[in-house]
Structure formats: C-alpha cells, structure tokens
Amino acid sequence: MECIPAVDIRGGKAVRLLRGEFSSETVFGDPLEIAESYVASGARRLHVVDLDAALTGSLVNFDAVVSIATSLGVPVQVGGGVRTFGVAEKLFSAGVDRVVVGTAGVLEDGFLADLSSRFPARVFFGLDHRRVEVDGHVMRELAVRGWTEGSRLDLEGAIAAIEGLPLAGVIVTDITRDGTLSGPDLAGLGDALESTTHSVYASGGVASVTDLEALASLRKGGRALSGVIIGRAFASRALSVEEAVTVCAR
C-alpha cells in the first residue's frame, strides 16, 4: 500500500482545512519546505492540491505547484482546477506526473474518458463525497467546485460509469472525515473496492499507525487498497512520515 503525503496550497501557503471548509483553515508554512521534509523522511510520491483552483477553476498557485513537481526528484500528482485539456496539458508540460480530476469528471460528460484516453494511466478520478439525504434516500453524493456544492450524483453511480477507462485509479474521500483525524471510512472504502476494478486510494481521517494497519488489512472481493493519502496527520505531526512509510511498505 503506497503512502502519499498531501500538501494543500491556498494563497501560496500550505494549509489544512477541516471537512473541506474554507473558513476552518490552519496554516502550516511554506509548501516547498514541507514537501521537502516529506521526501527527506522517505515519501516516494506527493499529492498536491491547489485549493484556490479547486474553488475557482484557475491555477492560482501554479508556480508553487510546479516548484514542488520539478525540484524534489519524486513524482507528484496534482488536483484542483483540472477542468480542461489545456489545464491538464499545462501541468503535464510543467513536470507534473499525474492529475486528479474532480469537478469536471462529475459535471462534464465525456471529459474524463477523453482526458484519460489521451493520457492513459496519468489521470485519477477524485471521488469526494458526503452522505446526504435526497428524496428520503441516503446517498454518498459527490461534491464539486472545491467541495462547496453537491452534484446529486452518487458515488456508486460514478464508479459504475468509469469502468473500462484507462485511469491511474480513483481517490475516495469521505469529506466528513477529511482533516478530522477521526479515522478512515473503512466500510465506504470496502464498498468502493467491491464496485470497481480500478486501483483505489483512500483519503481522509487517517491519524495513526492503527488506522494504516486497518487500511492495509482491508479486503473486499479479493482486492486491497493501492494507497493512502495523508494530510493533517503529517502536517500536525500526529503521525510521522517515516513510520507511516514503513507500515505501508510492510
């Protein structure tokens, strides 16, 4: 199981949000310095999110993202604002290894299929969701535009629609756990493993070695998670990168 530290950038600074709420920001410092520390501690891939771009669709923190992608010697995957071919191509041309598509994959018919066909195994689909009640039915609704809006598309339907696409995988995030250090959504991740043949990466809630061991042990339909993305636990030093990398490799 791959261990991937996350660096979220807003206004040029590394931050963490609580449940994706922009009003609950904690600033942790310079994004490049934090990314450097993660690589020095053993990280072999980084997950970078331009939060301003996720909200607006414009690559507000492009220079900060590129500095991480080109100077540390590890592959970097980038999310936030990847809603057109032009943006994806700009990121790839600047040295980004993979991109994460969220909003456009949900709202723009055919975009994910076209982009992944053009860049096979270099595009993730970000399945960022909340449990909501719609017409008396509880669903895992995908959120869009920086998690500020619902889509009325459920997680299960989105997963079913992407089978056969040449994706790098799917990143499954329970927004209600993101940044909370309250533990991962094991049941939801298990459902995802059963519902798709794509590689599944967990995101949200990880706080401890116990959480990592639970994720590594998760099996559904004979399948296991391919990786885990960790943000606040590393930024707040609740969990060390060295220890997490060792546990995930084991």
What SS3 state is found at 247?
A: helix
**Region of residue 120 (phi > 0: left; psi between -120 and 50: alpha; otherwise: beta):** beta
Question: What gap in Å lies between CA 127 and CA 204, rounded to an integer?
Answer: 12
Q: Residues 8, 52, 154, 174: which is the catalytic one?
A: 8
Please provide residue 171's backbone torsions phi and psi, each rounded to the nearest 5 degrees.
-110, 115
Q: Residues 52, 128, 154, 178: which is the catalytic one?
A: 128
- Is residue 178 annotated as a catalytic residue, yes or no? no
Whether residue 38 contacts residue 5, with contact meaning beta carbons closer than 8 Å, is answered with yes
Exposure on the CB side of residue 208, measured as CA atoms within 13 A: 6
* Strand stretches in the chain, DSSP E: 2-10, 13-18, 21-29, 46-50, 76-79, 98-101, 123-134, 137-144, 149-154, 169-174, 200-203, 227-230
Which amino acid appears at position 105 of this protein? Answer: G
DSSP calls for 193-229: HHH-SS-EEEES---SHHHHHHHHH--BTTB---EEE
222 exposure class (CB count in 10 Å sphere: 0-12, 13-18, 19+): exposed
Q: Could you say which DSSP state residue 95 is in? A: T
- Is residue 63 annotated as a catalytic residue, yes or no? no
Active-site residue list: 8, 128
